[in-house]
Amino acid sequence: MIMKKLMQQGLSFIEVLVWVAVFTFAMIAVTSSLISFYRSNAYTIEQGQAVESARRGMSRTVREMREVQYASNGAYPIVSIDTHSFTFYADVDTDSPIERIRYAVVDTDFVRYVLEPSGDPLVYTDAETSSVVSNQVRNVANSITTFTYYDEDGILITDYARAADVRFVRLDLVVNVNPNRLPNELTLRSSATLRNLIDR
């Protein structure tokens, strides 16, 4: 139909073919550019959301780590330390009993577990409640330590049986929505001094 109209305007068949070919190539180029633009922006938006989620989660984690304290049953503030998990006691909801908190990287999720004490006397035997703090975390896949621990002299703790010596914790989260695509992952880092354990 378009060719018929163009030919009615006095263009030859070859001129019409050239015009249609140029128009087709231009449309293909514009469409390809739009598809490429949306694909690259979709990745950027997803990566930005994942990084922001990790940043908020890291801020909360560090804030809670700074508040470690003795459990409601008198247990030592730090329960256990490991490469990708840290378990401690802290009052995170400003109520009377002290909660047991565990942060851990599970596959590609950074997860927060909370255990409220119960009974009389208080004990920590109920099931934990969990919530995903951040996803798209690549620490385990990239063999990058999530939690690094230091003693009161700033010396790195590599023996995880020495949980009682921990005074400072560094947290690293490696975030990447698609590890098969550039740009490479972004590493977020923060740290916490365990204020209630200083000089103990």
Asked if residue 5 belongs to a domain, the reply is no
Asked if residue 86 belongs to a domain, the reply is yes
- pLDDT over 60 (residue 135): yes
The residue to which tokens 């990084």 are assigned: 51
Asked if residue 14 belongs to a domain, the reply is no
* Total-model pTM: 0.77
Asked if residue 102 belongs to a domain, the reply is yes
Mean pLDDT of all residues belonging to the chain = 86
Give 35's DSSP letter: H
Give the integer Cα–Cα distance in Å for 141 and 55: 20
- pLDDT over 60 (residue 193): yes
- pLDDT over 60 (residue 1): no
* SS3 call for 123: strand
Count of domains forming the chain:
1
Asked if residue 32 belongs to a domain, the reply is no
Give the integer Cα–Cα distance in Å for 2 and 7: 9
Q: How large is the greatest C-alpha to C-alpha distance in the chain, in angstroms?
A: 98
Asked if residue 10 belongs to a domain, the reply is no
More reliable by pLDDT, 5 or 171 = 171
Domain span at residue 59 reads 38-197
- For the chain, strand residue ranges (E) read 78-81, 85-90, 99-106, 109-115, 129-134, 147-150, 156-157, 168-175, 186-193
